[in-house]
Structure 1
Amino acid sequence: MSAAVGVIWAQTPDRVIGRHGTMPWHVPEDMAYFKTVTAGCPVIMGRKTWESLPERFRPLPGRSNIVVTRDTSRAAELAQQGALTTSSLEDAVALGQEQAGESSAVWIMGGGAIYAEAVEKGIAHLASVTVLDLDIEGDTFAPELDPAAWELAGSAQGLGKWDTSESGVRYRFETYARRR
């Protein structure tokens, strides 16, 4: 049986996930949650997401880091930095499932175009979404999870409830499953 494929992101209620190549917030609890959920699992990201990670965290420890890039001249450089590279999301998912071993999931961690492709093409079957109670401008957005195709499977805080980060931001962790 193949490992499940999921997407994982943090967003505002307006689906903002980024601004100028960064996450425009600091929520340590979300970073800890991401680390816990993806630990031991392959993670897939686009080249820009890879480059947005601080160098000291590349590759993300304890995970196969798979980077999707169409720039073949960059692929060798990314491999030297510890990434596995592919030229398509489909190839990345196949490689992730090969790498998964005992893992139960392969996680797609960005960016916006990779998320959109995973949702629109039906590649992802799980979505782990941290909703941040923020009203901020952004230039990168999460895809909409159409209620006809996705259902809310749970919330770590209980449906509709919020926790407050040490940084003062209200947040909640929501899990969605693709309807069969």
Structure 2
Amino acid sequence: MVTIIAAAAENNALGKDNDLVWHLPDDFKRFKALTTGHHIIMGRKTFESFPKPLPNRVHILVTRQEDYQKEGCITVNSIEEALALAKEDNQPFIIGGGEIYRLGMPYTDKIELTRVHGEFEADTFFPEIDPEQWELTGSEYHSKDERHNYDFTYLTYIKKPGTGK
């Protein structure tokens, strides 16, 4: 089961200038809990936004740059190559950015989306979720508090049978 995991605003904003536009500590904890022990597939720019590789995960970077290499990471030139390398993992995660989400959507079975309640200026966006293809199966609302400047909701979508690859 291939899973996309993302945090996107109500206008589908993901980030600006290769950085997030909000700070949600509980969402970071959830991301870590869900992805630890799995393959994480991402674009080069997403990887370069990290201070270092994330522990206890296999990093697969998708880039058009033929000679791009990073220590501790596997580099490929297509989402299909990335998914083929992750096929032994029972739940590889596609973690961004916007273009990688768009390319990965047809191959995805599940979306774990943190919907940040607000609209933000951004240069990277999450693709629209087509309600004809995706069923919302879980929703957990969180109010803003002293550690979180925005309300947010964890949303789980499952691809409807017969609607994709």
Q: Quote how far apart the aligned CAs of 1:48 are.
A: 0.6
Q: 1:141 aligns with which of 115, 118, 125?
A: 125
Paired AA for residue 48 in structure 1 = K
Give the Å deviation of 1:82: 0.9
Alignment of 1:34-45 (within 5 A): 34-45=31-42
Q: Provide the C-alpha distance between the structure 1 equivalents of 2:32 and 2:143, rounded to a whole number of angstroms.
A: 18
Query: Quick one: which of 63, 74, 81 aligns to 1:69?
Result: 63
The equivalent residue for 1:164 is 144
Are 1:16 and 2:13 matched, yes or no? yes
Q: What's 2:160 paired with?
A: 179
Match of 1:83 in 2: 73
Q: In 1, Cα distance between the equivalents of 2:29 and 2:8?
A: 16
Equivalent position of 2:112 in the other structure: 128
Please state if 1:92 is matched with 2:72: no
* One-letter amino acid matched to 1:29: D
Letter in 2 for 1:60: L
Partners of 1:16 and 1:42 in 2: CA distance: 24
Q: CA deviation at 1:179?
A: 0.4
Match of 1:49 in 2: 46
Q: RMSD of aligned C-alpha atoms?
A: 1.2
Who is 2:135 aligned against?
151
Q: Which amino acid aligns with 2:29?
A: A
How many residues align? The count is 160
Deviations 1:97-154 (A, max 9, x none): 23x2xxx3000000100101111xx211100000111221111110011000011011
Gapped runs of 5+ residues in structure 1? none
Q: C-alpha displacement at 1:162, in angstroms?
A: 3.4
Distance 2:93 2:143 in 1: 24
The aligned counterpart of 1:111 is 97
TM-fit CA distance, 1:36: 0.7
Q: Percent identity?
A: 37
TM-score w.r.t. structure 1 length? 0.85
Question: Whose helix proportion is higher, 1 or 2?
Answer: 1
Cα deviation digits, residues 3-59 of structure 1 (max 9, x gap): x101110011110001111111111011111001111111000111110111xxx32
Unaligned runs of 5+ in 2: none
Structure 2 CA distance for aligned equivalents of residues 94 and 59 of structure 1: 21
The runs of at least 4 consecutive aligned structure 1 residues that moved more than 4 Å come to: none
Alpha-carbon distance in structure 2 between the residues aligned to 1:36 and 1:47: 23
